Structures are given as C-alpha cells and as structure tokens.
C-alpha cells in the first residue's frame, strides 16, 4: 500500500539484500501514489486473499532491513511454532494486555527497545511490520476504514477466533513514528464503537428453544446461568410456553409484519 514509489523501491531493495527475493517471496502492492485506490482495511484484505505464501508480511513503505534477514525471521517463526502452535500474528512492536510496551525497532530518532524475553504475547501490534499466518484465515473488519488501528483490529479478530499475537525479535528501521492527528482520533473512536457493538451482551436464541446469554460482564452472566438452572429444574425454559404457543407466535409474526 504505497504512496511513494521511490521510498517503496528503497524498502524492497533492503529486503532483497537480506534474502527476501523472488525465489521465496512475491511482492504485492496497492498503488495509492496518484489517487487513493484503497485504504488500509481494504488493502489488507486484498493482500491476505491474494497472497500465496504461508506467511503474509504487511509492512509500511518506509521500513528498512538493517540487521536481521530472512533466516532470522524463519528462526523466529519456528520458535513461535514450538512455543504456541496457535499463533496467528507477530510483529516488532506492540502492547501487552496489562498495558506494557514491547518494542524492538529503530525509529527515525534512534533505537526503540523496550522488551522482555521475546517472543512475547501481546494484545496489539504496530502496523509498521506485521507477519500474518495464512493458516489462521484472518481478515480486517469490513465496517472500519482509514489508515489507523488495522493492526489492533487484526489482533482482536485473531483473539476472537482463538489465535494469539506476539512481538518477535526481528529488528528493522522504521523511518517515521506515525501521525497522531484528527484522523487518528476518529479512527480510534470508530474501532471503539465497532467493538462496543460487537461485544455487546445478548441472548443467543437457537432452534432448540433454550437460549443462552453471551456476556463478558460477570453479573449478567451469573443471572443467565441461574435462568438456565431454573429452566432445567422446572423441565422447560421459562419462555418455552410462549414460544411454543401457536397463538402467541401468530401475534408475534403479526407485529413483525406491521413493522
């Protein structure tokens, strides 16, 4: 996803010099250099769907390999395979679930290294360099757009699907530090609103007529368990007498038709 072909060629030259070439890689771009063809969310999905390799590297055009090469990346991925066979995403920077930075890169002002023992499990990764395991079948959210927070979005999707995210020891140079502006704030508000809706508490109604509550909030979850327990004790779910009543069903469908 490039806006500057000169910077992109410099990036690719650094990759090829360290063993990433046409013998083991394919290079896919979305050309935004003249006009915006696709934002980050659309582009990521294009890359993840069209790439043929076992791993998809999503990276900025302003990164340079300065130390580690393709063999180091292969070693790090092998280490992840042994450590956690259910990993889906790794990068060189991110944050743990308890709010600690895990950074392993050089920014334009110098080295940025804050890390424990790598690989380290994180809840989000920075977008400058992301490796996605195609086996996980991940995708970016359809209902988000823009150029920020697609890394965290992928990590959330991975977590929901039962996969993990990590920061690994793959050191490179990222020539910028990102831009915190109004568009960034708007993107943050959009992803927060999206997952408030996505993770809302809800009754899951199923054809067996025994619904169950999906909730990450402890009190409603406990009440729902009590609700299910009561249904087992009386031999039927409390709503069953209404759902199975033909007259009540006819009234319900009549209201639906009018609305």
Distance CA 184, CA 128 (A): 15
Quickly state the pLDDT bin for 212 (edges 50, 70, 90).
confident
pLDDT tens digits for 48-106?
A: 999 999 999 999 999 999 999 999 999 999 999 999 999 999 999 999 998 889 999 99
Q: What is the pLDDT of residue 228?
A: 67
Specify which of 134-143, 175-184, 250-259 reaches the highest per-range mean pLDDT: 134-143
Q: What pLDDT, on a 0 to 100 scale, did the predictor assign at position 236?
A: 55
Identify the pLDDT of residue 257.
66
**pTM for this predicted structure:** 0.85
Lookup: tokens for 130: 């992301």
Q: Looking at residues 31-52, what average pLDDT do you find?
A: 95
| Mean pLDDT score of the chain | 89
Stretch 227-242: mean pLDDT: 61
- Greater model confidence, 235 or 187: 187
Query: Would you state the pLDDT for residue 82?
Result: 96
Categorize the per-residue pLDDT at 17 as very low, low, confident or very high, splitting at 50, 70 and 90: very high
Kindly report, as residue ranges, where domains of CATH 3.90.550.10 are found in the chain.
5-198
Tens digits of per-residue pLDDT, 220-229? 767 777 776 6
Q: Which CATH class is domain 5-198?
A: alpha beta
CA–CA dist 30, 40 (Å, integer): 10
Determine how β-strand 164-167 pairs with β-strand 87-91. parallel
């Amino acid at each position: 996803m490039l806006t500057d072909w000169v910077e992109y060629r410099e990036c690719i030259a650094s990759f090829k010099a360290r063993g990433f070439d046409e013998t083991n890689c394919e290079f896919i771009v979305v050309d935004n250099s003249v006009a915006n063809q696709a934002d980050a969310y659309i582009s990521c999905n294009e890359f993840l769907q069209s790439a043929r390799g076992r791993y998809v590297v999503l990276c900025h055009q302003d990164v340079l390999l300065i130390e580690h090469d393709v063999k180091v990346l292969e070693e790090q991925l092998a280490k992840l395979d042994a450590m956690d066979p259910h990993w889906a995403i790794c990068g060189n920077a991110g944050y743990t679930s308890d709010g600690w930075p895990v950074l392993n890169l050089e920014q334009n002002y110098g080295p940025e290294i804050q890390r424990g023992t790598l690989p380290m499990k994180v809840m989000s990764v920075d977008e400058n360099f992301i490796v996605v395991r195609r086996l996980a079948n991940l995708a970016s959210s359809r209902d988000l757009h823009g150029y920020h927070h697609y890394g965290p979005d992928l990590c959330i999707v991975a977590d929901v699907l039962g996969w993990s995210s990590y920061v690994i020891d793959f050191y490179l140079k990222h020539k910028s530090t990102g831009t915190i502006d109004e568009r960034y704030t708007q993107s943050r508000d959009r992803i927060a609103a999206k997952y408030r809706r996505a993770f809302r508490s809800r009754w899951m109604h199923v054809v067996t007529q025994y619904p169950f509550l999906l909730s990450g909030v402890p009190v409603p979850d406990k009440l729902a368990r009590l609700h299910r327990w009561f249904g087992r004790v009386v031999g039927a779910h409390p709503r069953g007498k209404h759902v199975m009543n033909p007259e009540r069903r006819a009234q319900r469908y009549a209201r639906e038709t009018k609305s």
